[in-house]
Structure 1
Amino acid sequence: MSKFPTAVNLHKTSNTLGLTYGPDEVYQLPAELLRTHSPSAEVQGHGKPILQFGKLNVKLIKVEAAGQYALKLTFDDGHDSGLFTWDYLYQLAVRQDALWADYLAELKAAGKTRDPSESIVRLML
């Protein structure tokens, strides 16, 4: 059974998507988390997710309803594919700390960074 928010807000100043499910259940999902965990084939791949990096400064610029079941999000890097279902958004919201920690660990293991102006170079001594 889907859990639907009672309010959805794009907070441009904090660059977050606000989801309210009740007075005690309010979440702020950062644009970078939404972008790096997009349900699109570009991010999820075909069987194995494709690590997204360099998305530190990505902005969420548009939020649109996709029928009664999802949101279509548009980011300033041009990414606008993949529909964020209500179930998926709720899972991102309640698991965002664990998902973020896993993402940072994956970046480190891959020698990648969140900052698009940085790259990690491993020296072989």
Structure 2
Amino acid sequence: MTADSVSYPHLPSELQLHSKSRVLTICFNDGACFHLPCEYLRVFSPAAAHIAGIPIVGKELVNITAIEPQGQYAVRLCFDDGDDTGIYAWETLYALGMQYEENWAQYLTQLKQCGYQRQEPAPGNKHLQLLYFSWLAKKMRKTAEEVIAPATVVDVNSLLTWLGQRRRGMTPLFQPGQLRVTVNKQFTEPFTRLQDGDEIGLVPMTPIEPQTPELI
């Protein structure tokens, strides 16, 4: 057992900000991995305003602009609303991940009690530019197309589900783990949020073409 593990039992093995989806991914040395929304991190900031029990509202679209190391024990998260007062120890981030469901439910209850109506971004149809590569372009008989995705398509995962249901024989082409997906030329995660006008690249992960019936 190292001195670091005695002082800090939960040390991060991965820390990655997904700016487009406004999510911070943090994985720890015990295998725990959390995907924490920026809004959640902002309203549960360790800063004094939150500790005093004052509900923080209006942060539905807040994002993180910088992550600054604070020695070996913490990071400072700087948000695009100007707040940079929160220093998040590794143990704090671990606890926020473990207690996410409970904390978020409690926060929503507090908002209701104080009469604040949280503003969820309203989903709508999206115009998307799809780019197909390798055997997928052959299967689709095209290298690109423009589509209008329904309101149910909100992220990469729901896009793949919708694409697999459009025509008979397409489902095997868009199975999880079959493709790597880029949004505006950046590789993404399944939970990456999509916006109107995005360019989506669909890149097969292997050169082996899946066996499917003829597309109709």
Measured against the shorter chain, the TM-score band is 0.7 to 0.9
| Contact 1:57-1:115 at 8 Å conserved across structures | no
Contact between 1:54 and 1:113, CA under 8 Å: does it hold in 2? Answer: no
Alignment partner of 1:10: what SS? strand
**Highest CA radius of gyration, 1 or 2?**
2
What is the letter of the counterpart of residue 25 of structure 1?
A
Q: Paired residue for 1:55? A: 59
The alignment status of 1:6 with 2:6, answered yes or no, reads no
Matched, 1:17 2:21: no
The equivalences for 1:42-121 within 5 A come to: 42-45=49-52, 49-115=53-119
Deviation at 1:29, TM superposition (A): 0.6
* 2:60 alignment partner, SS class: coil
- The number of residue pairs the alignment matches comes to 113
How far the C-alpha of 1:24 sits from its partner, in A, is 4.7
SS at match of 1:87: helix
Matches within 5 A, 1:36-47: 36-45=43-52
Deviation of residue 43 (structure 1)?
Answer: 2.4
Which of 10, 26, 36 is the equivalent residue of 2:33? 26
Given that 2:10 and 2:29 are in contact with CA atoms closer than 8 Å, whether structure 1 keeps it comes out as: no
Shift of residue 61, structure 1, vs aligned partner? 1.3
Structure 1 distance, partners of 2:111, 2:80, is 22
Counterpart secondary structure, 1:6: strand
Three-state SS of the structure 1 residue aligned to 2:117 is coil
Contact 1:7 1:21 in 2 (8 A): yes
> Shift of residue 22 of structure 1?
5.1
**Greater shift in the superposed pair: 19-28 or 57-66:** 19-28
1:61–1:114 CA distance, 2 compared to 1 (3 A): farther
Q: CA RMSD in A?
A: 1.7
What's the % identity of the aligned pairs? 36
1:23, 1:4 → 2: CA distance?
A: 8
Stretches of structure 2 that go unaligned for 5 or more consecutive residues are: 1-7, 121-216
Where 1:78 maps in the other structure, the secondary structure is coil
Could you tell me whether the CA contact under 8 Å between 1:107 and 1:113 is conserved in 2? yes
